[in-house]
Amino acid sequence: MPELPEVERGRRLAASVAEGRRIDAVECAVDAIVYAGVPATAWAALQGRRVRAACRWGKQLWFDLDSPPHPLFHFGMTGGFRVPGDTPLKLATGPAHRPDEWPPRYWKILLRFDDGGELVMTDARRLGRLLLRDVPRDEPPLSRLGFDPLLALPPPGRFAALLAARNVVIKSLLLDQGFAAGVGNWIADEVLFQARIDPRRRARDLDGREAKRLRSVLRRIVEKAVSVDAESRRYPKGWLFHRRWGRRAEAKTARGEAIEHIDIGGRTTAWVPAVQR
């Protein structure tokens, strides 16, 4: 599933083709699920509007236009932005890329801009959403989100207080978008591994040093992943990311510690008992 780094990559791609340009045409696929029941004809309101900025908070993307409504994009499990001739990220759950096909398979919306550029959102599994909002930051889903670890990580004292107020398993809390917007399964596992914290512990039971370490690691991992444009092959070799997948019984870290897989809150959790306490 696209997490904060992958969605930030999408935002940068959208910014490169959309910011400062006028939307000349909007084409919508027939898909009542992805469009959340809003008729595609409503999206005709975007035609003639100028894109002032491509914005992101957590896993939510939106265009700030010169007048409402503003379009919101959520990639779901397999969604993403595409432009002609690009090479998209290959997600484990996504379809194969066919560079000779435009618009690409599973496209849901196609925007054409006044300079001839085009942007498409695809979504093979139809778990993403396309929405229109008058004031995006003040309306759901954005209004329900917690802090963004890249854009607005709370200072250490505030971060520790947020943990202390929650009697919930720390892995589940990290996945709660109302707590940390944009953190998904692999980031949560990586953070807890590098912070040396057992994913089953309660958030309020972490002491001050652990809370500080957790915050520092969260910032470092997100910043690193974003800095390499979510190209996972460029993540540090020692990251759990490279060895956590598939629930393999023989999985080990780069240093040879055994990786175990358990279910927490209905999600597969990869962790290293020899390291995480």
List active site positions: 2-3, 59
Give the integer Cα–Cα distance in Å for 126 and 11. 20
Dmax (CA) for the chain in angstroms is 58
SS (H, E, C) the chain: CCCHHHHHHHHHHHHHHHCCCEEEEEEECCCCCCCCCCCHHHHHHHCCCEEEEEEEECCEEEEEECCCCEEEEECCCCCEEECCCCCCCCCCCCCCCCCCCCCCCCEEEEEEECCCCEEEEECCCCCCEEEEECCHHHCCCHHHCCECCCCCCCCHHHHHHHHHCCCCEHHHHHHCCCCECCCCHHHHHHHHHHHCCCCCCEHHHCCHHHHHHHHHHHHHHHHHHHHCCCCHHHCCCCCHHHHCHHHCCCCECCCCCECEEEEECCEEEEECCCCCC
Separation CA 81–CA 96 (nearest Å): 15
